[in-house]
Structure 1
Amino acid sequence: MIPSDVPKLPGLGRTWYKRGAVASCGLVVWGWLQQRRAIRKKLLNPPTPAAWSVGRLAAAFAVREYPSEVGARRAMEASADLHRLAGGKERLR
């Protein structure tokens, strides 16, 4: 749908819309490549140990559970469910 402020020349509106769509697709690819290059550059130049320690300390107070802790907790809960008997009694080991 062409807005009313676009000049009424035949085919002009659709041409510019197509060019804009192609340009936006190109910019998405360009942005993705720039992001990947920046990440690669940061991986090649890691932070100093003091910066790593500050980040780790901030994460310890900001993040409730690390993904490894979540996986371990779920595995322990699944294991506990396997060892329960009917009626909620614990199996003797």
Structure 2
Amino acid sequence: MASRASSEARPVEAPVPIPSLPKLGTTWYRRGALYWLSRARTTVFLLLVMAFFCFIALSLYQGFRDEIPPTARTVSDSVQVAASAVALVWGWIKQRRSHREGMLHPPTPEQTRAAKRAHNGRAPGRVALGRALVLLAAPVMPAFAAYIVGWLTAWMTVREYPSEVGARRWLEEQRAA
């Protein structure tokens, strides 16, 4: 039986709460059904976005293509196929390297939230400027779309995000302290 003095000497510490991550909440910790449902929802949404983006890119390219002579169309189409294949692989590799770097130096939960706030706070004027540049980029839009598809596909198919690794490490450090 413990004496009253020994029970008073050791303060009871509150458990460290699991940090909430953007878009994943606290489901990342147990990786249960809600976590995988969230990942599936994001994947379906991004597949729809990629399909729409590819449709728009090909439509813009088709408008550009209709304005050039038939001989140049064949050359242009061949260049687009080659450039799109290269861009797809380049987007995949770029994202995988970025992911590997993120896994080596994962962000803390606060850094993840700050990055999400910074991303959400970008100026809408940039979007309007981007729309104008898209019209000028019509001849290379299929390759650009292929790069985005490669990048997003690599991003969606990772087992674990750097933000999850960073949150897990942060949680372990808090519990050990």
| TM-score calculated relative to the size of structure 2 | 0.25
Identify, as 1 or 2, the structure richer in helix. Answer: 2
| TM-score calculated relative to the size of structure 1 | 0.44
